[in-house]
Each structure stands twice: as C-alpha cells, then as structure tokens.
C-alpha cells in the first residue's frame, strides 16, 4: 500500500519535479530546474493577475496577495542564504572566470549596490511608518505588524542577494542540482516581486486599491506625508532595475557553472594594473566631455518640460526633438565607425551571446515600438510639433545600429594595442554617457508616455506598463554593453 501511494505521489509531482532515479548529473539538474522555473512562472502570472484584479480591494484578497508575497520572499531568502553558505564552503575549489570575465561586471555590481540601497531605504521608511501606525492605531495593529514583517523579509532577501552576487562576482561555482534549483527559486521570486508590483500599478487606477490603504494610517502618517511621498518617486524606479540586473547576474552565474573544470583554477590574486599612457587618458577625458556636451540640451529640455511646462510648451518640445535627433545621429555615426574599425582589426571570437545581449535584443523591440508610437502620433497630429517624427526615425536607426554593434563586439576582443582600438574605446565612452543619461531621464520622467505628451490619447496604462520597463532596460544594458566595449578595446 505504501509503495502504491509513493508511486502515485511521484506521478503527481513529475510535471513539477521531473527527476528520475538516475537523475544525478548536473545536466539533468539543470533541465529539471529550468522546467520547474517555467512552471512556477506560469503559476505566478495567473496567481498575482487574479489577486490584483477588480476585487483586490477586498480585505481577504488583500491579505491573500500579501501572504503569497511573503511565502515567495521566504523561499527566496532560504534559497539565497543556502547558496551563500554553499559558495563559502566550496571557495577553496572554485575557479576564476579569468579572461572570459565580463569587463563591465564591476560597473554592474556598483549599480546593483545602488539599486539595492535605494530599495532598502524605501522599505526602511515603510517599516518606520507602519511601526508608527501600530503604536497610534491599535485597531490596525495586526495589519501594520504583518506589513512590517513583509518589508523586513524583503530587506533580508535584497541584502543576501547582493552579498551573494558580490561574493562570487569573479568565480565559477560547481554545477550542482542545488545550485540550479536555488537559482531557479531566486529568479522566480524576483519575477514574482516585479510582476506583482507591475500588475498593481496597472490596476490601481481602475479598482481603486488605495481605498483599503486609506483605512490604515499609512498614507495619512506624518512620516509618509513629509518624507515618504517626497522621495518615493526617486527610490521606487530602481526597484525594477534591481530585479532585472540581479536576475541577469544570476543567469550568468548559472551559465558559467557549465565551465567548471574546463579552466585552470586560480587563486585570489590582485589585478595587475598598468599605467595608462597620458595620451589615452586625455582621449578618455575628451570622450567624457563630448558625451556630456551632446546630452546636456536633452537633459535641460526634459527637466523643463517635466517640471515646469508639463509638456505643453511647443518651443521647448522642438528643442528637445532637435537635441534627440542630433544625439541619435551622433550615436549612429559612432556605431558605424566602430563597426568599420572592428573589421580592420584581427578579432578573436568569444563564442555565444551573453545574457546581457539577449536582454538587449529583447528590450530593443520595446524601443522600436516606443519610437514607432511616437512616429505615428507625430504623423497623425497628436504631438505639438512635427519634429517628433524626425527624432523618432533617427531613434529607430540608432537603436538598430547600436544593438548590432554591442551584440557583435561582446564576443570579440582586440589582440593588440592599435590606433583603431583607442578610437573605438573613445566612441564607446560617448555611448556610455548617452545611454546612461537617457536611462536616468526615462527612469524618473513621469511624462515619458502620457496624454500630456501625446495630445488626445487618454488611456496609457497598458502602454506605460509595457514600454517603460523595456525602454529603461534597453538604455541601462546598452550603457553596460558600451562600457564593456570601452574596457575591451582600451589600450593598456
């Protein structure tokens, strides 16, 4: 009888955990973890889609949603903590990434720490606010304590994830079922947190979910009114970037685990640093200066339209369109010249595309859709000026050429110091400044896609949810790719 029950349980769990008795190799564990991840993601999409729907204002639905979130976070904390302990225990046997290391890994980790710090500060302010509510409103004590617990676990998950990725930034961990399954759990939790936040934003204005929040003293608290409401718009956008960047680094760690044993183990040696010639240093300073000079008009025009004119001043809109057009033309020229110079240098292929390249290709489709929407709005008369049409055309050209350059160059290296390498590195630095400037503006620009910018369009909820993340992801990962290009071709 017990054997029959055991066989039935194995049969029922087979779609989620397709592990046979012979499934003892890392490869089988990788396939099972990927299948498990795909099934969990499908369940998360349905679960949080339902819990964020029209009846999410009900108290039972509210607590059900947050109960699901706290379960996800607990799983994520346990998974990342187990990986952190496991990586520490196998540190004497790990291998260095060596020459195959992504040149932009330090910059990516710097942004990851920045995003994590912003997210931690945001959650810390929420904890203090809920603690004050628990003291002042005894009737709302359970609700406040529950959300304090959620935010505390949220901070633990964020901190442990940053620690794990930083601790193993230059090492190849051994491919095991534990590694693959734990990373799959963390990726699922990152997706659940991002998806629940996105779906809530999509339905918030329709189902009036803030009605339940108003029952507590969160929105009416002194901390929230004087501090939280002022900095939420600054601290909240990095939340999306943190999920995507952390997931990207985790996937890279997963892929690198397949190379364990194929490269020679190295010790923790300090990086050999060479003095950069003053000529190369001067060119880099010139490139940074040019990049800032090119993007200053865009920055000033966007700030004026966003905070002063609410995108209703025609002349400032024309100035922005002209500035964006000139910047796009400059980027197109730089990308084309870099491609020409790369062909002149004898290159060495690095193999398949990086995880960052796949995200870049995917997000570039969102950029194309965003520019096409602006193009159609300009043609049909929904913009203040026809110059928007020109800027969108050159924006699509810039997206195509830049994506092609970054995905191609990520698999190649320069074998020696040549004049072409110095020129490519300078062009790459200008692209870094341009993309990160756009990323900052798009992340904090409340009118990137609104009825204020495109006159006559009324409902932008779906467009904002779909396009804004892709636009910001593309600019951020383009900046990382351009920085890798700069580091790879910078003469020593």
156 and 292 in a single domain? The answer is no
Name the band, by pLDDT with cuts 50, 70 and 90, for residue 167.
confident
190 and 290 in a single domain? The answer is no
Residues sharing a CB contact under 8 Å with residue 364, sequence separation 6 or more, in sequence order: 399, 400, 403, 474
What pLDDT is attached to residue 24? Answer: 46
Q: Tell whether the model's pLDDT for residue 179 goes beyond 80.
A: yes
Measuring CA to CA, which residue among 164, 130, 124, 170 is closest to residue 147? 130
Length of the chain: 492
Measuring CA to CA, which residue among 52, 17, 23 is closest to residue 38? 17
Distance CA 427, CA 294 (A): 13
Residues sharing a CB contact under 8 Å with residue 38, sequence separation 6 or more, in sequence order: none
CA angle 304, 308, 311 (to 5 degrees): 75
What pLDDT is attached to residue 266? Answer: 42
What pLDDT is attached to residue 283? Answer: 76
What pLDDT is attached to residue 185? Answer: 92
Poorest-pLDDT segment among 4-13, 76-85, 307-316, 404-413 = 4-13
Strongest mean pLDDT among 138-142, 211-215, 412-416: 138-142
351 and 417 in a single domain? The answer is yes
227 and 336 in a single domain? The answer is no
Among residues 227, 261, 295, the one where a domain terminates is 261
Check if the beta carbon of residue 159 is closer than 8 Å to that of residue 244: no
Check if the beta carbon of residue 430 is closer than 8 Å to that of residue 291: yes
Measuring CA to CA, which residue among 420, 466, 462, 437 is closest to residue 294? 437
Domain membership of residue 222 (yes or no) is: yes
What pLDDT is attached to residue 262? Answer: 56
Question: Does residue 148 sit in helix, strand or coil?
Answer: helix
242 and 307 in a single domain? The answer is no
Instruction: Give the pLDDT mean for 310-320.
Output: 81
Mean pLDDT of the chain: 77
Instruction: Count structural domains, the chain.
Output: 2
Name the band, by pLDDT with cuts 50, 70 and 90, for residue 230.
low
329 and 396 in a single domain? The answer is yes
What pLDDT is attached to residue 393? Answer: 93
Chain position carrying tokens 């029959």: 4
Name the band, by pLDDT with cuts 50, 70 and 90, for residue 401.
very high
What pLDDT is attached to residue 129? Answer: 82
What pLDDT is attached to residue 29? Answer: 67
203 and 308 in a single domain? The answer is no
294 and 249 in a single domain? The answer is no
Q: Tell whether the model's pLDDT for residue 403 goes beyond 50.
A: yes
Distance CA 247, CA 188 (A): 9
181 and 46 in a single domain? The answer is yes
Distance CA 361, CA 73 (A): 30
Helix 387-409 to helix 355-379 angle (10° resolution) is 170
384 and 321 in a single domain? The answer is yes
286 and 376 in a single domain? The answer is yes
290 and 257 in a single domain? The answer is no
Q: How many CA atoms lie within 13 A of 48 on its CB side?
A: 26
Poorest-pLDDT segment among 37-46, 110-119, 134-143, 399-408 = 134-143
Domain membership of residue 26 (yes or no) is: no
Q: Tell whether the model's pLDDT for residue 284 goes beyond 90.
A: no
Number of Cβ within 10 Å of residue 308's Cβ equals: 11
pLDDT in tens, 434-449: 999 999 888 877 566 5
Better-predicted residue by pLDDT, 188 or 263? 188
Domain membership of residue 28 (yes or no) is: no
Domain membership of residue 267 (yes or no) is: no
Domain membership of residue 266 (yes or no) is: no
Domain membership of residue 306 (yes or no) is: yes
Check if the beta carbon of residue 134 is closer than 8 Å to that of residue 145: yes
Among residues 231, 261, 291, the one where a domain terminates is 261
Domain membership of residue 108 (yes or no) is: yes
Domain that holds residue 169: 33-90+102-261
pLDDT in tens, 252-281: 888 887 776 555 444 444 343 334 344 446
Percentages of the chain per state (helix, strand, coil), in multiples of 5: 75, 0, 20
What pLDDT is attached to residue 77? Answer: 92
The structure tokens listed for 378 are 């300009």
Instruction: Give the pLDDT mean for 320-332.
Output: 93
Better-predicted residue by pLDDT, 476 or 137? 476
Query: What are residue 326's DSSP bridge partners?
Result: none
Better-predicted residue by pLDDT, 416 or 483? 483
Query: What are residue 412's DSSP bridge partners?
Result: 349
CA Rg, the chain, in Å? 25
pLDDT in tens, 7-61: 666 555 544 444 444 444 445 467 778 888 888 888 888 888 777 765 555 566 6
- State the pTM of this model: 0.74
Instruction: Give the pLDDT mean for 439-465.
Output: 63
Name the band, by pLDDT with cuts 50, 70 and 90, for residue 91.
low
Domain membership of residue 117 (yes or no) is: yes
What pLDDT is attached to residue 30? Answer: 74
Q: Tell whether the model's pLDDT for residue 152 goes beyond 60.
A: yes
Write phi, then psi, for 175 (nearest 5 degrees): -75, 115
Distance CA 362, CA 366 (A): 7
């Amino acid at each position: 009888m017990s054997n029959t029950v055991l066989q039935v349980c194995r049969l029922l769990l087979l779609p989620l955990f397709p592990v046979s008795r012979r499934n003892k190799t890392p490869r089988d564990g990788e396939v099972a973890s990927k299948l498990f991840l795909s099934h969990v993601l499908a369940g998360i999409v349905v679960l949080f889609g339902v819990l964020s729907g029209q009846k999410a204002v009900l108290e039972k639905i509210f607590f059900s949603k947050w109960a699901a979130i706290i379960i996800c976070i607990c799983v994520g904390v346990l998974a990342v903590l187990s990986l952190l302990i496991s990586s520490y225990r196998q540190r004497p046997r790990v291998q260095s990434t060596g020459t195959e290391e992504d040149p932009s890994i330090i910059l990516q980790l710097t942004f990851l720490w920045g995003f994590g710090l912003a997210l931690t500060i945001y959650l810390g302010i929420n904890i203090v606010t809920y603690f004050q509510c628990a003291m002042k409103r005894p009737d709302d004590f359970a609700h406040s304590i529950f959300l304090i617990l959620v935010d505390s676990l949220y901070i633990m998950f964020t901190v442990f994830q940053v620690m794990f990725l930083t601790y193993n930034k230059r090492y190849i961990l051994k491919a095991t079922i534990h590694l693959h399954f734990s990373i799959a759990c963390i990726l699922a939790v990152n997706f659940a947190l991002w998806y629940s936040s996105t779906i809530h934003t999509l339905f918030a204005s329709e189902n009036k979910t803030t009605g339940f929040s108003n029952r507590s003293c969160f929105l009416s608290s002194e901390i929230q009114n004087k501090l939280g409401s002022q900095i939420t718009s600054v601290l909240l956008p990095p939340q999306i970037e943190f999920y995507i960047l952390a997931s990207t680094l985790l996937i890279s760690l997963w892929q690198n685990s397949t190379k364990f044993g194929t490269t020679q183990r190295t010790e923790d040696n300090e990086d050999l640093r060479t003095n950069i010639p003053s000529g190369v240093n001067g060119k880099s300073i010139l490139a940074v200066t040019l990049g800032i000079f090119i993007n200053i008009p865009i920055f000033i025009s966007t700030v004026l339209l966003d905070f002063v004119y609410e995108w209703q001043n025609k002349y400032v809109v024309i100035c922005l369109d002209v500035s964006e057009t000139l910047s796009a033309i400059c980027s197109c020229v730089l990308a084309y010249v870099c491609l020409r110079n790369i062909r002149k240098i004898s290159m060495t292929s690095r193999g398949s595309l990086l995880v960052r390249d796949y995200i870049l290709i995917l997000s570039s489709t969102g950029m194309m859709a965003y520019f096409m929407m602006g193009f159609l709005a300009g043609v049909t008369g929904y913009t203040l000026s026809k110059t928007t049409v020109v800027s969108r055309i050159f924006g699509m050209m810039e997206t195509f050429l830049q994506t092609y350059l970054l995905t191609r160059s990520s698999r190649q290296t320069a074998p020696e110091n040549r004049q072409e390498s110095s020129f490519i590195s300078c062009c790459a630095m200008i692209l870094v400044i341009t993309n990160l400037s756009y990323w900052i503006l798009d992340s904090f620009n409340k009118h990137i896609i609104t009825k204020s910018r495109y006159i006559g369009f009324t409902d932008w909820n779906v467009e904002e949810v779909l396009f804004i993340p892709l636009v910001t992801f593309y600019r951020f990962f383009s900046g990382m790719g351009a920085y890798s290009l700069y580091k790879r071709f910078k003469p020593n």
